[in-house]
Amino acid sequence: MAIVVVGGHTRNIGKTSVVAGLIAAMPEMRWTAFKVTQFGHGMCSANGEPCDCETAEHTIAVSEERAGGDSTTDSGRYLAAGAVRSFWVRTRQGDLSQAMPRIRKEIARAENVVIESNSILRFLRPDLYLSVLDPETADFKESAKYFLDRADAVLVAEGELGRPGWKGVSLKLVEGTPVLAMRPPVYVTDEVMEFVRSRLRAGSVVPA
């Protein structure tokens, strides 16, 4: 089994497009896909809406996307791209550990797994971790900063990091890490696929 994690430093920089691209490019892997969302305080994990409740049943929620469902959601996009199963995991900030028993249960049933998350790296050691970066977007989540030096490759538009305006983030964290080009609307280029296949093959988790 291969476990691939795709993370990134903020929202709306192409993480979901990378996951969907990998699923579409490697249908033979029969991916089970996960989108992990952590909400801040005052938001309900069941539906992402403002919430004042503090009950245990609102701490986490895991839903499976169904065929014919909403293809505009991230988990729906995974299924539309060809995932065998697709899940949306919602937890309150800092409560991802409570969702891990369910996630591990579904991983055990899967042939191969791709997960969109940074924080999942606290609980799993994937075969491959890709970090999506946008040098023009200043916001940088703590979870992305914490795990950046573990990235097997970083994906950047046109493969150019340049001189990003991230405060408190040193490029030394990715010194020597392969920088692969995304070319939107093609987020998973031939270069990215060659890298992914070679790394997974080297780990003997995909057929030669």
Q: Is 86 exposed, middle or buried (0-12, 13-18, 19+ CB in 10 A)?
A: buried
Q: How far apart are CA 51 and CA 70, in angstroms?
A: 24
Residue range 57-80: average pLDDT?
84
CB 35 within 8 A of CB 116: yes
CB 127 within 8 A of CB 58: no
pTM of the model: 0.89
pLDDT at residue 208, as a whole number: 52
Q: How far apart are CA 3 and CA 129, in angstroms?
A: 9
CB 9 within 8 A of CB 134: yes
Question: Tens digits of per-residue pLDDT, 156-187?
Answer: 999 999 889 899 899 999 999 999 999 999 99
CB 111 within 8 A of CB 135: no
Question: Tens digits of per-residue pLDDT, 29-60?
Answer: 999 999 999 986 444 444 445 444 444 555 78
Question: Tens digits of per-residue pLDDT, 2-37?
Answer: 999 999 999 999 999 999 999 999 999 999 999 999
Element (H, E) at 105: helix 100-109
Any idea where the domains of the chain sit in the sequence?
A: 3-202
Q: How far apart are CA 139 and CA 33, in angstroms?
A: 26
Percent of the chain clearing pLDDT 90 (strictly above): 77
CATH code for the domain defined by 3-202: 3.40.50
Q: How far apart are CA 152 and CA 172, in angstroms?
A: 14
pLDDT at residue 205, as a whole number: 66
